[in-house]
Amino acid sequence: MVLDTPLERVFDYLWTGEETPQVGQFALLTFGRREMVGLIVAMKQNSDIPRDKLKSVLTVRQQLSPVSSEWIALCSFAADYYQRPLGEVALPAIPKNCRTSKTTALDKALKKLSLSLEVKGEPSESPQLNAAQQNAVQHIVDAKGYAPSLLYGVTGSGKTEVYLQAAAQVLARDASAQILILVPEINLTPQLQGHFQARFPELTVAVLHSGMAEGERTLHWLAAHTGKARLILGTRLAILASLPALKLIIIDEEHDPSYKQQEGLRYSARDLAIWRARQLNIPVVLGSATPSLETWQHTISGRYVKLSLPDRAVAAAVLPKMRLIDIAKDRPQEGLTASLISALKQRLDKGEQSLLYLNRRGYAPVIACDACGWMSNCTRCSAFLVLHKQEHKLRCHHCSFELRIPKSCPTCGNSDIQPLGRGTQRIEENLQKFFPDAKIRRIDADSTRLKGSAQAAFETVHRGEVDILIGTQMVAKGHDFKNLTLVGVINPDNALFSQDYRAGERLFAQLMQVSGRAGRAAQKEGGSVSEVLVQTRYPQHPLYHALKTHDYPRFAKECLAERQQAGLPPFIFQALLRAEAKELQIAIAFLRQAAELNVPEGIIMHDPIPMSLMKMANSERAQLLIESHSRPALQAFLKEWLLQLRTLKPRITWSLEVDPVDI
Ligand code: ADP
Ligand code: ZN
Ligand code: ZN
């Protein structure tokens, strides 16, 4: 029996009932003084524990069909690879309603499941594929067994249509086949769900993401688990869904950092998808216009097949023209250059939409006092409190600590304290001053707190009720805005000088993605040429150069060469041990102790260092990087090392991350 506990063990329980339970069933039992639901992973005749000491299983969840051995193997692999107990992987991956002592909610969901799941949309016809799309679909459906491919298609090249038509063929030839489609953001699921439901009106589509209410989540999970849902759409957590008839996995925007879970079981949904496809011997498609360097490298080495869609799917739609606006020459007023203002004005005059992208929410990232130099620091984190003007608050984006905006400087009493820098709220306010009649809409995490509000906001854009959309990376991904001909990028330069070696790769992907929102339909008669304006102080930077020519392959080639030379992933394998304590020295001391444990040859142990955001929520944090040229060697070492670490019984919080993305 496997239980959701930090103990890395399988527990023996006694079965005294009639019908022998099956592996994969869930059972209610007592653990200590609590009732818990466990997963049966093996049945055996004998136990090392004497019979009279064994506790009995209370009941087996008969109403829930067993999970497959494939699913248990997937969880075991994840537990093993990411160095976590199996119970902490497998149990949290099923809905709460399936693992509580009462079964009322579960029974209700099962009853509901026999009815229908979702309202059906308008049926849609499939368009004629272009040659490149046709080739991609053919390759995917012709694949025999495990076949990983990269669908490398520029923005607007019709990757979704490839997914739809490949899905159609896989579903048609196997009456029970299930297909899993992953997207990076919750707010992209409604659009995709619409496409799939319209194309397959007779099939049940299940959706799985973290924004769902518990009852809804149970229902959709059960639809997947029972095989009723043939199409399963979701964010990263959907990779751990129980799917008894999985025949194809699709990961859209595979490069997206959100596929990496950043707490608890720190898994990569993309990497697990690859593993799952290999285990099931089925094809897996990774889609992107800016693939991760790991994936790109695999296409070079031949491990993945590259399927290219080089052109936009709508014949008359062309990639937008890129313009780098040198802010040393064209000085921004209130964050906006004259070039951008005039480009916006042109779109307003023609009744076209524009999008302004600024990856920083709030009004201003900090407020400061000119007289004494005071700045709005968070007392609990090594970060600034961000000004949220409308809510009259200063708020920490790391620990959520809040203060009312002070009327005067808390240090010297000066009443003239000023916001420094700009966030989306400030740009919104300034835009309204420049264009008092324009319909301006901001979409970011602050404006879309309420459930369903993000979707409602995106719909107003699609309906043409918005002239200028301003937003963070929430607006950059995936959306197919038909009447948008201008993208303005404000202040992207910070990432050029970040310590994080992945910052450049991420910036490039974000800018390519957001650029891809422009010019997705044919240019209208008398309409504007679609354009992207990037306001930068470094127009000569090679990253912007590659961006200007839409040249991902060149960018990737340069990055990979740098990575190889510097000995960075994907040319090396990494793990990161993090520790936090009241004082930095305590965290460092623990890491130092860990680093001095027996380290075999082939493992590179670095020195402990403070994390770049050193203090968070009153904890001081440090990290220790471990590297190896061999993944198996690293895995073997980590396993041993963790056993030793646990015997140190550190009295601080620590965690290990395999294949870390934020270093
Ligand atoms: P991507 O995901 O690659 O950015 P989409 O799948 O959103 O691109 O497709 C962009 C647009 O092209 C959509 O409006 C889609 O309906 C349209 N489209 C896709 N394939 C075709 C095709 N073969 N013929 C005509 N239009 C197409
Ligand atoms: Zn002051
Ligand atoms: Zn804070």
In this predicted model, what pLDDT tens digit does every residue of 44-83 receive, in sequence order?
998 999 988 999 999 999 999 999 999 999 999 999 999 9
- Would you say the C-alpha torsion 555, 556, 562, 568 has a positive or negative sign? positive
- pLDDT tens, position by position, 268-326: 999 999 999 999 999 999 999 999 999 999 999 999 999 999 999 988 888 999 999 99
Give the whole-angstrom CA distance, residue 567 versus residue 70. Answer: 36
Judge whether residue 11 has pLDDT over 90.
Answer: yes
Answer for the pair 250, 182: CB distance below 8 angstroms, yes or no: yes
Q: How many Cβ atoms sit within 10 Å of the Cβ of residue 278?
A: 14
Question: Which of 160, 520, 552 for a ligand 1 pocket mutation test, highest count of atoms within 8 Å of Cβ?
Answer: 160
Q: How many residues does the chain have?
A: 663
Half-sphere exposure (Cβ direction) of 410: Cα atoms closer than 13 Å:
10
Place of tokens 């000569």: 540
Q: Which residue, 511, 571, 506, 569, is CA-closest to 256?
A: 506
At residue 346, what is the residue type? Answer: Q
C-alpha 276 to ligand 3 mean position (Å): 38
Quickly state the pLDDT bin for 114 (edges 50, 70, 90).
Answer: confident
- pLDDT tens, position by position, 613-632: 999 999 999 999 999 999 99
Token digits for 266? 């720190």
Judge whether residue 91 has pLDDT over 70.
Answer: yes
Place of tokens 């790109």: 296
C-alpha 315 to ligand 1 mean position (Å): 10
Q: Is 429 helix (H, G, I), strand (E, B) or coil?
A: helix
Answer for the pair 32, 120: CB distance below 8 angstroms, yes or no: no
Q: Which pLDDT value is given to residue 118?
A: 56
Quickly state the pLDDT bin for 117 (edges 50, 70, 90).
Answer: low
Q: What is the mean pLDDT of the chain?
A: 94
Residues with CB under 5 A from ligand 2 (ion): 369, 371-372, 374, 409, 411-412, 414
Closest-approaching ligand to the CA atom of 378: 3
C-alpha 567 to ligand 1 mean position (Å): 39
Q: What percent of the chain has pLDDT over 90?
A: 87
Place of tokens 């307003």: 348
Residues with CB under 5 A from ligand 3 (ion): 378, 380-381, 396, 398-399, 401
Q: Which pLDDT value is given to residue 120?
A: 57
